[in-house]
Amino acid sequence: MLEFLQGFSYGLFLSCLPWFVIGLVSPRHALGTLRPERLQVFIRYWFVVPFLAGLLWLTSLWGGFGPSLGGWLAGLAAIAVEIPLERRLRGWWERRKQKRLDAQRQREIAKRQAEQARQARERGEESLDPQHPPADADDVILALCSAKARLLAARQPALAQQADRVYGRYRKVIAVLLERFEVGELAFERARSLVAEVCFAAVDNLTAMAAQASGVAGVDSDHVRRRLSLESGRLSHTERLALERRLALVEDTHRHLRELSARNETALTALDNAAVAMARVDTRRPQASVSADQALGDLQNFVARAERYGRGP
């Protein structure tokens, strides 16, 4: 055993120089780290590996009959075996850490969506079930269900919530119209058609968002960013350009999604304004035959005269 350690230390020490030269030319071939740099080559093959070789040599001096050939060969091949093993271990650890981060991110997203759903319920906003539309669903609600189903299929649950918000505003405006007008009135039909047009415009935006999101649904942008940041030294020029174009495509799609989402926010604001404006319209026939001020003055005069009625002779 001591003969093997002596040979191993000699072989390991002699292999430092060629690996150092290889590292100066191409650090990724001489290092097992995910982000190889020439400074790491200096530290490893000028200090760390020679120190380990010297330590093994000192610990094997107290016995043995000289270095063995097997130890020499093992020492010469040690770094060539260690580099891919270290790279695999570091990659496994990085993937495990990324999985934990992804799981934590998914938990945060689920928690945020649950909180948004709770707030929507508190505000009286309803949630659409694309598979089971409401029994009284009209063309607008059916179109919203279809758009939400497409967004969910494109793995965009946050954008799909806009369909719920449009649905809630639509139901609210229709309820206000039913309170203020009679079904069949010209004003009611005109207002309902305008509200429906706004909702259909929002549906068109949601459908466009689903189509664009489905186009990049298979692109893992996080994986592309990790490869560009962690493996940039090992990527060829062509592969790096392809990854950068893929990432640019995803970012451009997300920019378009944000623009369409902003248009839907404008539509939601218009529906809110319509609900407030319609709520201010008073179409009911007044119950009082005179104004409130006149009725209050007549009542006060009557009370003043009633006091004289109760006085005796």
270 is written with which tokens?
């218009």
Q: Are 143 and 78 members of one domain?
A: no
Q: Are 168 and 261 members of one domain?
A: yes
Q: Rounded mean pLDDT of 100-118?
A: 79
Distance CA 143, CA 159 (A): 15
Residue 114 lies in a domain: no
Q: Are 195 and 263 members of one domain?
A: yes
Taking the CA of residue 231 as centre, how many other CA atoms within 13 Å lie in the half-sphere pointing to its CB? 16
The pLDDT, as a whole number, for residue 258 is 86
Q: Are 71 and 168 members of one domain?
A: no
Residue 309 lies in a domain: no
Q: Are 170 and 270 members of one domain?
A: yes
The pLDDT, as a whole number, for residue 270 is 85
Does residue 250 contact residue 221 with C-beta atoms inside 8 Å? Answer: yes
Residue 116 lies in a domain: no
Q: Are 234 and 163 members of one domain?
A: yes
Read off the pLDDT of residues 14-50 as tens digits, 9 standing for 90 and up: 888 888 888 888 888 888 787 788 888 888 888 888 8
The average confidence (pLDDT) of the chain is 77
Q: Is the pLDDT of residue 83 over 80?
A: yes
Q: Are 179 and 265 members of one domain?
A: yes
Residue 50 lies in a domain: yes
The pLDDT, as a whole number, for residue 224 is 59
Read off the pLDDT of residues 248-302 as tens digits, 9 standing for 90 and up: 777 777 788 888 888 888 888 888 888 888 777 655 555 545 455 666 666 666 5
Residue 308 lies in a domain: no
Q: Is 26 left (phi over 0), alpha (psi -120 to 50) or beta?
A: beta
Q: What is the domain extent for residue 223?
A: 126-280
CA-based nearest residue to 206, from 126, 280, 143: 143
Q: How confident is the model at residue 12 (pLDDT cuts 50, 70, 90)?
A: confident
Residue 291 lies in a domain: no
Residue 8 lies in a domain: yes
Domain tally, the chain: 2
Other Cβ atoms within 10 Å of 119 Cβ, number = 10
Other Cβ atoms within 10 Å of 93 Cβ, number = 11
Residue 63 lies in a domain: yes
